[in-house]
A and B are shown apart, each in its own frame.
Chain A
Amino acid sequence: MNAQKLKAIFDKEIESGNEVQEIRIRAGSPIFFSVNGNEREIGGANADKELIRELLGMFSGHSLYAYEEEIRQGFLTIEGGHRVGLAGRVVMDGKNIKTMKDISCLNIRLAHEKTGCSERLLPWLYDAGKEPCSTLFLSPPGAGKTTMLRDVIRQISDGNELAPGMPVSVVDERSELGACWRGTPQCDLGRRTDVMDGCPKVLGMTMMIRSMAPRVLAVDEIGTREELAAMREVMKCGCHILATAHADTIEDIEKKPVLSQMAGEGMFERYVVLKKFPHPGTVTGIYDRNRCFLGKINEEEAE
């Protein structure tokens, strides 16, 4: 198996109208495609280290050194906003990861935008004065919180039936929201959105407030004390925050000290809980500042 053959298989799937979500490549094992939610094994030869080396060369523009930081974090973002997860042998420098070598497993996750997925949620995310509410999206991994946040950002930035568009800043530490490639967002985040790509959230939030004067600031996967402090500063400037965090239910907030503190300070005016089933992005609960249930999105109505 080589990269050209793999590309031909991939192109055939796309031409057949199938939605490829993931390609998993492990040295010495068969290649698996996740197509329309089902796993499919690719027959023929197994993947080998040569294929992985070839793919890494292509993904990194023959310049792995330029992705040193991403490799340290275990992923690369490539053209089109697709995410390539990496696993191999980690080299440590004291307590920190220095780099990863002998990469033997790749997980290529294809970026999918669900434009309009937040439409039915949006009325819950504005207050009476047509100002967006600071909102925390909660879900387990793979339940669509980043996709939902991305669409909310786009709607707020472009404007919608509820309110006119306004400047939004995104601090995209892991390049997941904008899926930036060489600094340009590959996903539609709206016409009034500024993206700081690859920047640590704590630094990026302060920089964006100083330099871009946003009305709304969005970040993905919050949870550290430093981020809490930075968010306090952002809110002091009168800016609204949109953020995501890992949690199964609204009660899980209490189990996470930082999230619990944020909730205790009334930092968020809305909490949106999402589930993976029956499909990613299912809103099972919308809560107010005091975590009182406000409503949910009825899936039957949505369809």
Chain B
Amino acid sequence: MNRQWLVDAGVLLAGVTSGIASGMFGIGGGVILVPILGLLLGFTQHRAQGTSLVALIPPTGLLAVIQYAKADYVSWQTGLLLIPGLFLGGIAGGHLARRIPAARMRRIFAALMFLLGIWQVFSAFRG
């Protein structure tokens, strides 16, 4: 009972944290939410992922999109063109994942992402 209250508060805070990352960096937020639920709040990996998917169903980024749009930081044409490919690609990727060792793929991708991050930081401060 008392503990339930504590868990709820922790979960709400996890949501706020990943929401800030979402609005700041233009991402969905699952990247942050899943590790917080799993590593800090003790959810199993599957349960953390399933729960994160619930949180990503409502358009949680709406208030952020409105602010970006007001500043003219939304390319509607690009955005609408990306959606069909993303949807179809997601289905294809899901099927592909059953044939390919996904854990190793993730590590390869994580390494690439890390390098891309270094490059991005460099290019930002080179002027």
Is chain B a partner of chain A in the same complex? no
Residues of A within 8 A of B (CB): none
